[in-house]
Amino acid sequence: MTDPTGTKSGARVLSCIQPTAAIHIGNYFGAIQNWVAMQHVYDCVYGVVDFHAMTAPYHREELAQNTYDMLIALMACGVDARASRLFVQSFVPEHTELCWILATVCGYGELARMTQFKDKSRQLRAKTESDAVDGAGVTAGLFLYPVLQAADILAYRPEVVPVGRDQKQHLELCRSIARRFNQQYRRAVFPEPATVFTKVPKVMSLTQPDRKMSKSLGEQNYVGIFDPPEVVRKKIRASVTDSGDVKAERTSPGVANLLTILEAAGESDRVIEMRDEYRLGRLKYVHLKDAVAEALIALFRPMRERREELHAKFKGPSSEWFCELSQNARSLAVETLEQARDAAGLIGFDCRFTKPTTAF
């Protein structure tokens, strides 16, 4: 197996994902495919971070279901809870306690300068009150998002955090917080995790190939990995290519995107052939689109079947299941929090697990 991060075998690696209604092919090729590859090489900790999903307006009735669906999807894609440590963020309370401790060594100015906070704040302010669900506006939770993300990471003291480049600023802040905590309390509690930018295919929107594939752009812009075959074919056939079958010195964004998807789906030989045809002005886009659709359908068919089996087995969100699933990861977070509490001058044990006292 290839080493996707370039790190020493056995290193602890952490990656997290927010619970959403659907995983699209960009999520799979950009992250989940690597999760599956890494779990048998490294000590992997993978989390579904449901607290982070609360930093923007959301439907409260859907949060638990989306968390459950994300776990099922990850396992259907090949993430093995026996080979890695898989957790639900809200079932590891050490995250939020550690978030508060870390917030006391993080500056207001650092958070105010975060690019994603500025961008998301503008987006939220642009929404009208009628668009909002369960609250509106820029919240303190959105502002503190990077500190909770730092707690998510540092709770497990990973050596490596593979991320996309859009998360570079957050990881730099995480490293800064770890360094400042260690210096302030003169304890080497937190290692500074190495930020590794994984080499992944950049999958763009089907109808706006100059923009990254995202569910926020609308259903026609992405292909969900569990979309039925007829839906996959319909979306790919409607995807943007260019104005016609003409010879071009440079591949158009739409065609380049379809070729990227086809290669990511394991059809490298077909991609070489079609690139040659394109340069010669002989490529028929209907053939390209059919090849992409069929490659995606074949790739994700076993995962769709596995997903149905898992849904039948676990039968919906369950606090007992979430708790049991998260215990393997939580044992690491408990140990970290104990050391952080002790370093900060707090009594180093977890009161939640003691029996009620009659001393008073």
| SS3 assignment, position 200 | coil
Q: Which two tokens stand for residue 16?
A: 């997290």
Contact 105, 181 (CB under 8 A): yes
Q: Which two tokens stand for residue 3?
A: 């080493």
Q: Which of 127, 202, 212, 234 is catalytic?
A: 212
How many C-beta atoms surround the C-beta of residue 112 within 10 A? 10
| SS3 assignment, position 85 | strand
Q: What is the largest CA-CA distance in the chain?
A: 87
Contact 251, 280 (CB under 8 A): no
How many C-beta atoms surround the C-beta of residue 19 within 10 A? 23
Contact 85, 328 (CB under 8 A): yes
Q: For residue 313, indicate whether it is catalytic.
A: no
| SS3 assignment, position 43 | strand
Contact 309, 75 (CB under 8 A): no
Q: For residue 120, indicate whether it is catalytic.
A: yes
Exposed, middle or buried by CB within 10 Å (0-12, 13-18, 19+), for 155? buried
Q: Which of 120, 127, 202, 234 is catalytic?
A: 120
Start-to-end Cα distance in the chain: 60
| Cα dihedral 34, 37, 43, 46 sign | positive
Give ∠ CA 344-348-353 in degrees, rounded to 5: 135
Closest CA relative to residue 159, chosen from 37, 47, 12, 45: 12
Q: For residue 212, indicate whether it is catalytic.
A: yes
Question: Catalytic residues, which ones?
Answer: 120, 212, 215
